[in-house]
């Protein structure tokens, strides 16, 4: 079965995406890496033998045809993991940024599934990388919170719609990761409050019961575990990888 099936990864050149690509190829899948930057995609593909690339903007319906045209074998998994703009807190975030975030997260997963629909294997997996703040709201992560909350609902709907075909849908909700993106958020918050960056980082770590950030390796591990046939029993669910940040039930 080596490389006979395809995994499509949107947001493949990001912190999580690159590690997801690496681990999926180790699982014996060929990966179609999707992103907006041709240079970044070319660099990614040069690192892995079993990776092809597709330059597409998942926020636009043109991505449906672009991704569809690049599919050359049965699709075992699609992974939707693009980032959204850091828009600030709920009192100041531009409304346009909120709308754009929902378009990227919700519109994006719909465009991805529609591009791959005719190519899904019977036991295919639809996976969306959401985020902790979609289930644990905070005043300072407005766009991510709203978009990831909507994404959870859409993924549950997809699990129902695709279930009759033996296809499952899953949301993975990581907590903050120690990444370049997080550093930008932390720097902005530190400047706004007039405190040191290290103080804000320590506060974020204190939100975790194990005083850790989520890692790209952990997210990719969760994605790959969903390839197991037994994972179909988790369809529609949200897998929390928040390092013990969530306080609410369930």
CA distance linking residue 112 with residue 154, whole number of Å = 13
- Over 90: is that where the pLDDT of 118 sits? yes
Give whole-number Cα distances, 18 to 101, 153, 169, 226, 245, in Å.
Answer: 21, 26, 21, 18, 25
Task: Give the confidence band of 85 by pLDDT, cuts at 50, 70, 90.
Answer: confident
Closest CA to 117 of 66, 178, 74: 74
Closest CA to 60 of 108, 14, 115: 108
3-state class (DSSP) for residue 31: strand
Give whole-number Cα distances, 20 to 26, 27, 99, 136, in Å.
Answer: 10, 11, 27, 25
Q: Is the pTM of this model over 0.75?
A: yes
CA distance linking residue 65 with residue 217, whole number of Å = 31
- Over 70: is that where the pLDDT of 157 sits? yes
Strand residue runs (E) in 11-166: 30-35, 51-55, 75-80, 120-129
The lowest-confidence range among 30-34, 101-105, 116-120, 193-197 is 193-197
């Amino acid at each position: 079965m080596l490389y006979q099936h395809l995994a499509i990864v949107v947001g493949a050149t990001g912190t999580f995406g690159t590690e997801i690509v690496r681990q999926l190829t180790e699982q014996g899948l060929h990966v179609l890496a999707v992103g907006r930057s041709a240079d970044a995609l070319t660099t990614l593909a040069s690192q892995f033998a079993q990776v092809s690339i597709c330059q597409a903007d998942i926020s636009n319906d043109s991505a449906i045809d672009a991704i569809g045209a690049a599919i050359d074998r049965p699709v075992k998994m699609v992974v939707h993991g693009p980032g959204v703009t850091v828009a600030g807190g709920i009192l100041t975030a531009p409304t346009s940024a909120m709308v754009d975030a929902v378009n990227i997260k919700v519109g994006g997963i719909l465009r991805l599934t529609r591009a791959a629909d005719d190519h899904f294997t019977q036991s295919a997996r639809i996976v969306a990388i959401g985020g902790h703040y979609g289930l644990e709201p905070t005043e300072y992560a407005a766009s991510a919170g709203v978009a990831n909350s909507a994404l959870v609902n859409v993924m549950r709907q997809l699990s129902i719609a695709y279930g009759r075909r033996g296809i499952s849908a899953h949301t993975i909700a990581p907590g903050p990761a120690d990444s370049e993106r997080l550093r930008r958020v932390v720097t902005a918050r530190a400047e706004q409050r007039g405190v040191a960056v290290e103080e804000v980082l320590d506060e974020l770590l204190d939100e975790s019961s194990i005083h850790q950030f989520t890692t790209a390796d952990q997210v990719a591990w969760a994605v790959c575990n969903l390839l197991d046939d037994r994972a179909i029993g988790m369809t529609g669910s949200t897998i929390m990888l928040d390092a013990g940040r969530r306080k609410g039930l369930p």
